Every structure is written in structure tokens, then in C-alpha cells.
């Protein structure tokens, strides 16, 4: 069995590759290293094939023979698209090119797409998969278009896919993301540097934080379950405020840094996220295992033992 992970040198992608290698031998990584980094795979270089291409430049034969394709190779932060709106058209064009290549080669496997809970912006809590998607920013328009593109190819050409709308993912191997890393990780880095964490607004804003190992498990379930054309939330169903995160970090690191609160400059800032997890539990069999305090303990150990150049 052959498996491809686009964006496999990124944060979530590299964690997924590691887990896949526990079960499968032929795991390939396609990455153009715009935001991914070979450092995330340095100990796996003899176990994975690395294809250093952008999707728009890949040869059709390079996509042949895969049973599962995990598509994570897309810019994954709203500020990236706000800074460069052309990322929207570039990312969508790459997705169109990919599914066209799969169509012309009569792809019989399954595509698993990393989408985002950001699509729910402007809706009431908890977020359910059947909610109306509102117009909020470039990033969400990009992900929503790609979701609809897969459904179009399913209806016209029988493409098999599952979409995972990821909530606020944190964990090891975010160091190469820099300022685009999860807020838990950014707060941790500030404390490790002895700097005061900065919070926009009151700190009462909340996120549904989920540890990357749980997200990886959801990807594997999405591939292996007999499911097609489905969308699932991948979150915990638990809200945690930024203030609470700082408290847990200070307790774990035996520090006492008090955050600095500043006015929020972001016009379409999301105050709260919360996943409705019932569908994922029922149809995907997904249940997150890592509680926030345990996850924070894991990343405190990880980032305390590596050299940070952030």
C-alpha cells in the first residue's frame, strides 16, 4: 500500500507521517517547503520518499498508485492569506490541478482533506458540520471552495473523500511555524524566553484546543473507515480561555509571568470556538484522548529540550 501526505514536512503533516509509519511502509511526502521544514523529518530520511514539488508542478505519474492521499499541503493560517490574498487563488488552483490529475489517472483511493473550523466564524456555539458557512475572510473562502470542489468531483467522477475540519491544534514540531503557531505554543515560547505573553483583549476568548496526536488519529480513522463524502469536526468539545492556558503553563513551568493585555487590532477576530463532536464520535469512531493539561505537559517537555530560534 502506498500513501501520500502533501505538506508532510509541516507541523501536523510530519506528526501524521510518523504515526503512519507505525502501520505502513510506503509513506511518501510531497512538500515545497514554503512553511514545512526538513527538520521535522530529519530522523526519517531513510524511511520516507520526499518529493520536493509544489502541487502545481507535480507530474501526473507521481500521483499514481496511492491508496490514501492526505492533503495538508496548503497555507494554514488566516494572516497568511490576509497578507497575500493571491494565496487563495494559488491554493485553490493547486487543489484543482491535483484532483484533475487524480481523475485522469482513474484514482480509486481516498483523499482526506485538512480543512478548518474557521469556516464556522460568525455562527453560534457549538459548531456543527451542517451549519451555514458565512463569508468572513480569505482563508475560510479558500478552504470552503476546496471542500465544495471535492464534492463536485465526487458527483461527477466518483472521487472518494473525507473532510476533517480541524479546531485549534497544538503539539510538538511547531517550531518552524514561528508566529503562525498555535497560541498555546506561542505563549509557551514567550515564557521559556522569560518574556511576558501578550494577549489581545481580555483573555476571556476561548478555543477548542486539541493535541496533535488526537488529530493524527482522526486522519487515520478517516482513511480506514468505510466513509465517503463526509465532513467531520475534529475537536474536543471543551472550551479553554487564553487566561486559563497561561495559568496551566505557569503551573507546569513553575513560573509566574502575568500576561500583558493589548487592544485587539483584528477586525474579524474570533472570540470563541467549540466543536460539536457527536457526528465524529458516532460515524468516525473518534474520541480525543489527550486532556489539555496532559498535552501542555507534553509540549513543555518537548520545547524545553530543543534549541528554539524563534
Q: Average the pLDDT over 299-305 and give the result.
A: 95
DSSP string for 251-291: HHHT--PPPEEE----TT------B--HHIIIII-------
The pLDDT of residue 63 is 87
The pLDDT of residue 58 is 82
* 96 and 103 Cβ atoms separated by less than 8 Å: no
Architecture of domain 2-168+210-234: 3-Layer(aba) Sandwich (3.40)
Judge whether residue 34 has pLDDT over 90.
no
Q: Average the pLDDT over 69-76 and give the result.
A: 96
The pLDDT of residue 310 is 59
Judge whether residue 301 has pLDDT over 90.
yes
Separation between Cα atoms, residue 140 and residue 77, nearest integer Å: 10
Q: Average the pLDDT over 262-286 and give the result.
A: 94
The pLDDT of residue 225 is 97
The pLDDT of residue 268 is 80
- Residue extents of the structural domains in the chain: 2-168+210-234, 171-208+238-274+289-304
The pLDDT of residue 207 is 98
Backbone torsion region of residue 33, taken as left when φ is above 0, otherwise alpha when ψ lies between -120 and 50, otherwise beta: left
Separation between Cα atoms, residue 85 and residue 307, nearest integer Å: 33
Q: Average the pLDDT over 2-29 and give the result.
A: 96
In three-state secondary structure terms, 3 is strand
pLDDT tens digits for range 129-179: 999 999 999 999 999 999 999 999 999 999 999 999 999 999 999 999 999
Tell me the pLDDT band of 56, cut-offs 50, 70 and 90. Answer: confident
pTM for the structure as a whole: 0.96
The pLDDT of residue 309 is 63
Least confident of 8-22, 180-194, 254-268: 254-268
Judge whether residue 60 has pLDDT over 90.
no
* 256 and 250 Cβ atoms separated by less than 8 Å: yes
pLDDT tens digits for range 202-232: 999 999 999 999 999 999 999 999 999 999 9
Cα dihedral 55, 40, 193, 268 sign: positive
User: Cell numbers at residue 229, please?
Assistant: 463524502
The pLDDT of residue 306 is 83
Least confident of 116-120, 123-127, 169-173, 302-306: 302-306
pLDDT tens digits for range 224-272: 999 999 999 999 999 999 999 999 999 999 999 999 999 988 888 899 9
In the CATH hierarchy, which top-level class contains the domain 171-208+238-274+289-304? alpha beta
> Fold match between 2-168+210-234 and 171-208+238-274+289-304?
no
Amino acid at each position: 500500500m502506498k500513501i501520500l501526505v502533501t505538506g508532510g514536512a509541516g507541523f501536523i503533516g510530519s506528526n501524521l507521517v510518523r504515526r503512519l509509519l507505525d502501520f505502513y511502509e510506503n509513506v511518501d511526502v510531497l512538500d515545497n517547503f514554503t512553511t514545512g521544514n526538513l527538520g521535522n523529518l530529519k530522523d526519517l530520511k531513510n524511511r520516507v520518499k520526499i518529493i520536493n514539488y509544489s502541487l502545481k508542478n507535480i507530474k501526473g505519474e507521481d500521483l499514481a498508485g496511492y491508496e490514501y492521499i492526505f492533503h495538508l499541503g496548503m497555507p494554514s493560517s488566516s494572516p497568511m492569506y490576509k497578507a497575500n490574498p493571491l494565496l487563495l487563488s494559488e491554493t485553490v488552483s493547486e487543489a484543482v490541478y491535483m484532483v484533475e490529475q487524480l481523475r485522469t489517472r482513474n484514482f480509486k483511493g481516498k483523499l482526506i482533506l485538512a480543512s478548518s473550523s474557521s469556516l464556522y466564524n460568525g455562527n453560534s456555539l457549538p459548531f456543527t458540520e451542517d451549519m451555514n458557512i458565512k463569508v468572513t475572510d480569505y482563508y475560510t473562502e479558500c478552504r470552503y471552495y476546496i471542500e465544495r470542489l471535492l464534492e463536485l468531483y465526487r458527483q461527477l467522477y466518483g472521487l472518494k473523500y473525507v473532510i476533517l475540519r480541524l479546531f485549534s491544534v497544538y503539539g510538538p514540531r511547531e517550531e518552524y511555524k514561528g508566529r503562525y503557531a498555535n497560541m498555546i505554543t506561542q505563549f509557551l515560547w514567550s515564557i521559556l524566553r522569560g518574556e511576558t505573553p501578550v494577549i489581545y483583549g481580555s483573555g476571556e476568548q476561548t478555543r477548542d484546543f486539541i493535541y496533535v496526536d488526537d488529530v493524527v488519529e482522526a486522519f487515520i480513522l478517516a482513511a480506514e473507515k468505510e466513509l465517503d463524502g463526509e465532513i467531520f469536526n475534529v475537536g474536543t468539545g471543551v472550551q479553554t480561555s487564553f487566561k486559563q492556558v497561561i495559568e496551566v503553563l505557569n503551573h507546569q513551568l513553575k513560573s509566574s509571568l502575568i500576561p500583558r493585555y493589548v487592544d485587539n487590532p483584528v477586525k474579524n477576530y474570533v472570540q470563541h470556538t467549540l466543536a460539536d463532536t457527536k457526528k465524529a464520535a458516532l460515524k468516525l469512531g473518534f474520541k480525543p484522548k489527550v486532556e489539555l493539561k496532559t498535552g501542555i505537559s507534553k509540549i513543555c517537555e518537548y520545547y524545553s529540550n530543543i534549541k528554539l530560534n524563534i
